[in-house]
C-alpha cells in the first residue's frame, strides 16, 4: 500500500472536479463564450475553466480553447491572463505525457510576468512546475520549485498586509504548498518531514478560522490516515481513515473512498475482527470496480487476498491473488513482489507444491531484481564520486605541470628569485602529492569497503533466506500451523535485519556522495524519541531486555531532526543487539545548559549491560580498513557501518560521538547537541 497510496492521494489534490453534470456546465460555458455578450473578465474566466474541463475528456478541444484563450489575451494585451493560459497548457501537456512541451509552455508563461509585479501568478507557476517535476520523480527539483513558490507567496502576502488587502488566497496557497512539500517527502517515505509540514498546515488552518480551508483539510485527513498506517499507529490511522471516508462519501470521491476502506479493513484484520475486515474490503472492491481504474482495483484485490488468508479460506485468497496478478504489468515490480509472496504462501498452505515452487522462483527473481536495482543506483553514486575525485586529481597534476614549465622560464629570468620560487614549488609539490595519495587511499578504502559489504554482508543473508524458503516449501505439507507460524516469524526477522542493513548501507552512500541534506530546526525531542522507542521496544521485548528512557519535559533542541533520529535509532539498535537476554538498555537525555536567550544544550546517553568492547576494537571502530562487524548476542548481522554513520551525522551537526566500554560489563555512547 505504501507504494501506491501516497502518490495517488497527492495527485487527487490537484485534479478534483465538482460532482455535478459537467457536460451540461461545459456546454453552457461554450454557449456563453460564443454569444459575445460577456465582459472581458468573464471571457478570461470562462476560457480558463473551459479548457480545464475538456483536458481530461477531449484533448483536441482543450487545445482549441486554450489557443483561442491565448489569442484573446494577446488581443486584449493582458499578459497576466496570457501567462495563466500558457501555464495551464503546460500542466495539461504534462498529464498527456509530453514533458518537453509542458516545460516549454510553463517557461514561456514565466517569461511574460517575471519580475513585473505579478507575484502571485509567479507563485502559481513555480507550484505547477513543482508538480510536473514531482510527477516525473525529480524530487529535488520539485522541492526547489515549491520553496520558490512559498517565497513568492510570502512576498505577496507581506505586500497585501502592508496595503491592508485580503490575504485569504495567500493563506490557502501557503497551506497548498506545505501539503505539496509533505507529498514529496511522502514519496521519499520520510514520515517525520511529512508530519512536520502537515502540522504547519494545520496550524495555519486553526489560526485562521474565517478562511475556507475545506479542500485542504480533506486532503490532510487522508494523508494522516496513510502516514499513521505506515508508522503502524493503527488506532490513529483508523480514526483519520474513518473521518476521511465520511468526507469522501459526501464528495463522491471514489478513489479516496477505496483507500479509506482499505485502511479500515486492515485495522479490523489486525484487531482480529475478520467479519468487519471482509465487509470493508468487499466494499472497497465494489467501489474500485465502479471507477474502472486498475490501480484502485489492485488495492482491493490485495486487501481481499490478505483478509481471506487470515480467515484460512485459502481458495478465496488464491482467487483474488490471481485476479490481482492478471491486471498487474510486468514492470510493476513492487506489486509483483507482494503478489508472488502471497501466492507462495497460499499454494504452500494448499499443498500445491509445484505451483508454490514456481512462484517461489518468481518471488526470488523479483527480489533479486529490486535489490540489484537499488544497489545499482547506490553503486552509480559511489562511482560518480570516485570518478570526480580522479578527475580532480588529474586537474591538479596538470596544473602542477604548468607550474613547472613556468618555473623553468623564471629560472632563465633571474637567479635568486628563481631559486626561491623552485624551493616553494617543490614544497608545494610535496604537500600536493601527500594530499593526492591520502585522497586516493580514502577513495580506495571507501570503494573496497562498499564492495566487501555487498559481496559478504548482503550476499550471505540473502542466500540464507533463499535456503530457508526452499526448506519451507519442502516441508509445508508436513509442518503444522504453529510450526509454520514460528518459521515465518524467524524468516521475517531475518528479512527485517537484511532491510535494516540495506538502509544503513544506502544512508552511508548518501553521506559519502554528499546527497543527504542538512536542515536544522527547533523541535521537541519527544516528537522523534517516542516513535523511535515504539519501534525499538519491540526488538527489546523479543530479547527480554528492559528498555529505560528518561527525557525532560518540553525539551526543545536545535538540530536536523532526521539525522538525530538516525543516530539515536542506530545506537539503541546496537545496544540491544549486543546485550544478552534479561539485560538493560537505557536512553537518558539530560539538559546541560539553559539560557533565556538561547536553545538549551542536551546530553544524549545510550548505555547497556551487554558484552562490551575491548580497547583494540574501540581504537579501530571508526576505521573503514580495520572495522570488523561482530554478530549480536542472538546472531544478528551487521555491516560495521552503523557507528561510522552516527559519527559522520554528528560531525555535520558539530558534535562528537564518545565511547566508553568494559568487556563483559557493557558500553556507553554519548554526545552533546
Determine the pLDDT at residue 19. Answer: 36
Determine the pLDDT at residue 406. Answer: 66
CA 668 – CA 662 distance, rounded (Å): 9
Contacts with 62 (C-beta within 8 Å, 6 or more apart), sequence order: 51, 52, 54, 55, 92
Determine the pLDDT at residue 626. Answer: 58
**Would you place residue 21 in the very low, low, confident or very high pLDDT band (cuts 50, 70, 90)?**
very low
Q: Average pLDDT of 511-520? A: 75
Which of the residue ranges 116-130, 131-145, 496-510, 519-533 would you say has the lowest mean pLDDT? 496-510
Q: Is this prediction's pTM over 0.85?
A: no
Output the average pLDDT for the chain.
Answer: 82
Q: Could you state, in order of their start, the residue ranges of all structural domains in the chain? A: 19-199, 357-512, 521-672
Which of the residue ranges 485-494, 535-544, 560-569 would you say has the lowest mean pLDDT? 485-494
Measured from the Cβ of residue 133, the count of other Cβ atoms closer than 10 Å reads 22
**Would you place residue 393 in the very low, low, confident or very high pLDDT band (cuts 50, 70, 90)?**
low
Determine the pLDDT at residue 416. Answer: 60
**Would you place residue 9 in the very low, low, confident or very high pLDDT band (cuts 50, 70, 90)?**
very low
Determine the pLDDT at residue 14. Answer: 39
Which residue, 608, 609, 602, 598, is CA-closest to 526?
602
**Domain range 521-672, its CATH number among 3.30.565.10, 3.30.930.10, 3.40.1710.10, 3.40.462.40:** 3.30.565.10
Contacts with 36 (C-beta within 8 Å, 6 or more apart), sequence order: none
The pLDDT tens digits of the residues spanning 86-132 come to: 999 999 999 888 999 999 999 999 999 999 999 999 999 999 999 99
Domains 19-199 and 521-672 share a fold: no
**Would you place residue 276 in the very low, low, confident or very high pLDDT band (cuts 50, 70, 90)?**
very high
Determine the pLDDT at residue 13. Answer: 41
Q: Average pLDDT of 553-578? A: 90
CA 562 – CA 201 distance, rounded (Å): 20
Determine the pLDDT at residue 88. Answer: 92
**Would you place residue 315 in the very low, low, confident or very high pLDDT band (cuts 50, 70, 90)?**
very high
The pLDDT tens digits of the residues spanning 609-664 come to: 999 988 888 888 887 665 566 778 887 766 677 888 899 899 999 999 999 999 98
Contacts with 382 (C-beta within 8 Å, 6 or more apart), sequence order: 446, 447, 450, 509, 512, 513
Residue 179 has pLDDT above 60, yes or no: yes
Cβ–Cβ < 8 Å for 622, 648: no
Question: Which CATH superfamily groups domain 19-199?
Answer: Tetratricopeptide repeat domain (1.25.40.10)
Instruction: Return contacts of 60-65, CB within 8 angstroms, 24+ apart.
Output: 62/92, 63/89
Measured from the Cβ of residue 502, the count of other Cβ atoms closer than 10 Å reads 19
Amino acid at each position: 500500500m505504501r507504494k501506491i497510496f501516497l502518490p495517488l492521494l497527492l495527485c487527487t489534490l490537484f485534479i478534483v472536479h465538482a460532482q455535478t453534470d459537467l457536460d451540461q456546465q461545459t456546454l453552457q460555458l461554450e454557449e456563453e463564450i460564443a454569444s459575445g455578450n460577456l465582459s472581458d473578465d468573464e471571457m478570461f474566466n470562462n476560457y480558463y475553466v473551459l479548457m480545464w474541463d475538456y483536458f481530461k475528456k477531449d484533448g483536441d478541444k482543450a487545445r482549441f480553447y486554450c489557443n483561442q484563450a491565448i489569442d484573446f489575451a494577446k488581443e486584449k494585451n493582458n499578459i497576466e491572463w496570457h501567462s495563466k493560459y500558457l501555464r495551464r497548457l503546460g500542466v495539461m501537456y504534462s498529464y498527456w505525457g509530453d514533458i518537453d512541451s509542458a516545460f516549454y509552455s510553463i517557461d514561456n508563461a514565466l517569461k511574460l510576468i517575471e519580475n513585473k509585479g505579478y507575484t502571485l501568478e509567479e507563485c502559481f507557476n513555480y507550484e505547477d512546475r513543482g508538480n510536473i517535476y514531482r510527477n516525473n520523480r525529480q524530487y529535488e527539483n520539485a522541492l526547489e520549485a515549491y520553496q520558490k513558490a512559498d517565497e513568492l507567496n510570502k512576498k505577496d502576502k507581506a505586500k497585501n498586509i502592508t496595503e491592508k488587502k485580503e490575504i485569504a488566497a495567500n493563506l490557502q496557497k501557503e497551506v497548498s504548498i506545505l501539503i505539496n512539500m509533505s507529498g514529496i517527502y511522502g514519496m521519499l517515505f520520510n514520515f517525520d518531514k511529512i508530519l512536520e509540514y502537515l502540522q504547519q498546515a494545520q496550524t495555519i488552518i486553526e489560526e485562521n478560522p474565517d478562511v475556507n480551508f475545506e479542500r485542504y483539510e480533506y486532503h490532510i485527513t487522508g494523508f494522516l490516515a496513510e502516514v499513521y498506517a505506515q508508522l503502524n499507529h493503527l488506532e490513529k490511522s483508523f480514526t483519520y481513515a474513518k473521518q476521511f471516508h465520511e468526507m469522501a462519501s459526501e464528495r463522491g470521491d471514489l478513489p479516496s473512498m477505496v483507500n479509506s476502506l482499505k485502511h479500515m479493513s486492515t485495522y479490523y484484520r489486525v484487531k482480529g475482527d475478520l467479519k468487519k475486515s471482509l465487509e470493508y474490503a468487499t466494499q472497497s472492491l465494489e467501489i474500485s470496480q465502479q471507477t474502472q481504474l486498475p490501480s484502485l482495483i489492485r488495492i482491493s484485490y490485495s486487501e481481499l487476498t490478505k483478509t481471506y488468508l487470515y480467515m484460512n479460506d485459502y481458495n478465496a485468497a488464491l482467487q483474488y491473488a490471481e485476479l490481482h496478478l492478471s491486471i498487474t504489468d510486468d514492470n510493476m515490480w513492487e506489486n509483483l513482489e507482494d503478489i508472488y509472496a502471497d501466492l507462495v504462501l497460499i499454494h504452500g498452505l494448499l499443498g500445491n507444491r509445484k505451483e508454490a515452487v514456481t512462484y517461489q522462483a518468481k518471488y526470488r527473481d523479483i527480489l533479486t531484481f529490486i535489490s540489484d536495482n537499488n544497489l545499482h543506483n547506490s553503486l552509480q553514486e559511489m562511482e560518480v564520486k570516485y570518478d570526480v575525485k580522479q578527475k580532480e586529481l588529474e586537474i591538479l597534476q596538470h596544473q602542477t605541470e604548468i607550474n613547472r614549465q613556468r618555473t623553468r622560464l623564471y629560472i632563465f629570468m633571474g637567479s635568486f628569485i628563481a631559486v626561491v620560487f623552485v624551493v616553494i614549488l617543490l614544497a608545494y609539490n610535496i604537500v600536493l602529492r601527500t594530499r593526492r595519495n591520502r585522497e586516493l587511499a580514502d577513495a580506495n578504502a571507501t570503494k573496497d569497503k562498499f564492495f566487501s559489504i555487498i559481496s559478504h554482508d548482503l550476499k550471505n543473508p540473502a542466500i540464507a533466506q533463499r535456503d530457508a524458503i526452499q526448506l519451507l516449501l519442502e516441508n509445508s505439507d508436513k509442518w503444522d500451523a504453529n510450526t509454520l507460524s514460528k518459521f515465518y516469524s524467524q524468516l521475517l526477522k531475518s528479512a527485517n535485519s537484511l532491510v535494516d542493513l540495506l538502509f544503513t548501507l544506502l544512508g552511508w552512500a548518501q553521506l559519502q556522495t554528499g546527497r543527504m541534506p542538512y536542515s536544522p530546526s527547533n523541535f521537541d525531542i519527544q516528537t522523534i524519541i517516542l516513535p523511535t522507542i515504539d519501534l525499538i521496544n519491540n526488538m527489546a521485548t523479543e530479547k527480554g531486555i528492559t528498555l529505560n528512557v528518561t527525557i525532560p519535559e518540553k525539551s526543545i533542541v536545535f538540530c536536523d531532526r532526521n539525522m538525530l533520529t538516525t543516530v539515536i535509532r542506530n545506537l539503541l539498535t546496537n545496544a540491544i543487539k549486543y546485550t544478552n537476554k534479561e539485560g538493560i538498555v537505557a536512553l537518558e537525555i539530560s539538559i546541560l545548559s539553559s539560557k533565556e536567550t538561547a536553545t538549551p544544550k542536551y546530553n544524549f546517553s545510550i548505555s547497556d549491560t551487554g558484552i562490551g568492547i575491548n580497547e583494540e576494537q574501540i581504537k579501530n571502530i571508526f576505521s573503514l580498513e580495520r572495522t570488523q562487524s561482530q554478530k549480536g548476542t542472538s546472531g544478528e548481522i551487521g555491516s560495521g557501518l552503523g557507528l561510522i554513520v552516527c559519527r559522520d551525522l554528528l560531525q555535520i551537526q558539530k558534535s562528537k560521538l564518545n565511547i566508553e566500554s568494559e568487556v563483559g560489563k557493557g558500553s556507553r555512547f554519548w554526545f552533546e547537541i
